[in-house]
Amino acid sequence: MNETRDLPGLKLRLEAAFHLKSVLEGKPFAPIGPDRLAQSRDRALANRMVTIALRHHGQIDAVFKEVLAKGVPQRAGILEAVLRIAIAQLLWLDDIAAHSAIHLGVESARADKRAGRFDKLVNGVLRSVQRQSEQFQALDGDTLIPGWLAAQWAGTYGADAVARFAEILIQSPPLDLTLKSPDPDLIAVLGGQPVLGETVRLAERDAAVADLAGFAEGKWWVQDVSAALPARLLNAGAGEAILDLCAAPGGKTAQLASAGARVTALDISADRMARVRANLDRLELNAEIVVADALDYAPGPVFDAVLLDAPCSATGTFRRHPEVLLHRNAQGIAERVALQRKMLAHATALLKPGGRLIYCVCSLERGEGEDQLAWVQSSLPELEPSAIAASELDGWDTPLTPQGAVRLTPAMALPNGVGGALDGFFIARFIRKPV
């Protein structure tokens, strides 16, 4: 066994397979870390294999239908994950030789007791996929987004937008950074392109995030262009008391703190709040850290503004978290809608009269976005909507809704001719009526 595990390229494939298996079982995707694979090249390749298998999940299902008459054997350990990783390599990772994908796929299965019984099947399936690779590579994108979600999105955004979402799903996303302060020299060194506000986009990079210019000096943090807008629209003033409710990993906390506000950052997850603390330390920014359930936090109406980045389906983040497409269902979304309403009511009670509330979700679902705005208007009479103007988005009016909210979808063209997509988001702003 040890001899086999020493085969070049096998260990990283096994890590990739175990990692993919855990995501298929419902865990969110987090990149494989140095504790699992010490070499950064191995980690990069293993993570690429897992993400490509997840991006093309629906197409791999279609391949399975063609080459496995009885479906993928169940209770077979890492078998399904091994097949998905090897098929992803054969069809969409053309810098790896097919014979190595097949050989290492078979050896990966053999390294696992339950999957090992199916080594001949793995060999046969992968050889069939190789023979029919042109046909499978030409599979259309209709299967990429699960049917129920595609139908829901087609109803909201139209069939063309859904087709565009599918194209975006299989591309690897650019990296967006929020700069702590404007810095044209740093943008030039990074080779980035300014998008909107302090967001800079790196279309390509050849280094890990922590090795990019300005990281160690705390000059920026990673944040999608969409995710940078809610804090911007809160218009935090120096010295204002602002509550960042559901704050981790802290991108919005950093924006509010760098505007000079006195920020209280709250999140239910102690682990995630440790990341907020580390990020703030690196950025030399301050915030009071509270680990608590938002619904139990009741200091009274003491805040000038609250930013509620509510827990949501996160379907707008499918470019970086393709697994959300596999894990979400209508019931789970309905549960989040109910929680968001409780949080909206609770956040209102924490605002001083005249205080501002930003509600946002990284979701493409109307129920978590536009419908929540309508619910506030019918159910929380203390709040009045505060319409967002294009002038607050450097004149970009594409995402403004007739109700004065912001709806961002991955298919929207960015301003300044910047290429690539963005996270789906919904943002609404309210004022607590003065008494």
309 assigned to a ligand binding site? yes
52 vs 225, beta carbon nearer ligand SAM: 225
By CB under 6 A, is residue 283 in contact with ligand SAM?
no
Q: Shortest approach of ligand SAM to residue 309 CB, angstroms? A: 3
By CB under 6 A, is residue 248 in contact with ligand SAM?
yes
60 vs 227, beta carbon nearer ligand SAM: 227
H or E stretch at 289: strand 288-291
Q: Which of 224, 267, 304, 323 binds ligand SAM (CB under 6 A)?
A: 267
Q: Which stretch binds ligand SAM (CB under 6 A): 117-125, 287-295, 377-385, 415-423?
A: 287-295
Instruction: Name the H helices within 68-216.
Output: 79-92, 98-110, 113-116, 119-131, 133-137, 147-157, 159-169, 184-190
339 vs 412, beta carbon nearer ligand SAM: 339
How many chain residues interact with ligand SAM (CB under 6 A)? 18
Q: Shortest approach of ligand SAM to residue 227 CB, angstroms? A: 6
250 assigned to a ligand binding site? yes
Q: Which of 251, 369, 399, 420 binds ligand SAM (CB under 6 A)?
A: 251
Contacts of 122 (CB under 8 A, 6+ apart): 79, 82, 83, 86, 105, 106, 109, 115
248 assigned to a ligand binding site? yes
Q: Which of 100, 269, 398, 401 binds ligand SAM (CB under 6 A)?
A: 269
Longest pairwise C-alpha distance within the chain: 75
Sign of the dihedral defined by the CA atoms of residues 108, 110, 115, 120, in that order: positive
Contacts of 283 (CB under 8 A, 6+ apart): 180, 218, 221, 254, 257, 258
Q: Which stretch binds ligand SAM (CB under 6 A): 24-32, 292-300, 321-329, 377-385?
A: 292-300
For residues 364 and 177, what is the distance between their CA atoms, to the nearest angstrom? 22
Q: Shortest approach of ligand SAM to residue 85 CB, angstroms? A: 29
By CB under 6 A, is residue 423 in contact with ligand SAM?
no
Q: Which of residues 344-383 bind ligand SAM (CB under 6 A)?
A: 362
By CB under 6 A, is residue 263 in contact with ligand SAM?
no
Summarize the chain as % helix, strand, coil (round to 5).
50, 15, 40
252 vs 432, beta carbon nearer ligand SAM: 252
Site string for ligand SAM, 295-314 (x = CB under 6 A): x-------------x-x---
- DSSP string of 334-399, one letter each residue: HHHHHHHHHHHHHHHHTEEEEEEEEEEES---GGGTHHHHHHHHHH-TTEEE----GGGGTT--TT
252 assigned to a ligand binding site? yes
For residues 252 and 222, what is the distance between their CA atoms, to the nearest angstrom? 11
Q: Which two tokens stand for residue 420?
A: 């690539």
Q: Shortest approach of ligand SAM to residue 395 CB, angstroms? A: 25
Contacts of 298 (CB under 8 A, 6+ apart): 349, 350
267 assigned to a ligand binding site? yes
154 assigned to a ligand binding site? no
**Dihedral angle of Cα 81, 83, 87, 93, to the nearest 10 degrees:** 50
H or E stretch at 14: helix 10-24
Active site residue 312: no
249 assigned to a ligand binding site? yes
DSSP 201: E
Of the residues 86, 150, 257, 362, which is catalytic?
A: 362
By CB under 6 A, is residue 249 in contact with ligand SAM?
yes
Please identify every residue annotated as catalytic: 362
**Can you give the binding site for ligand SAM, defined by CB under 6 A?**
227, 246-252, 267-269, 272, 293-295, 309, 311, 362
Q: Annotated binding residues, as ranges?
A: 246-252, 267, 293, 309
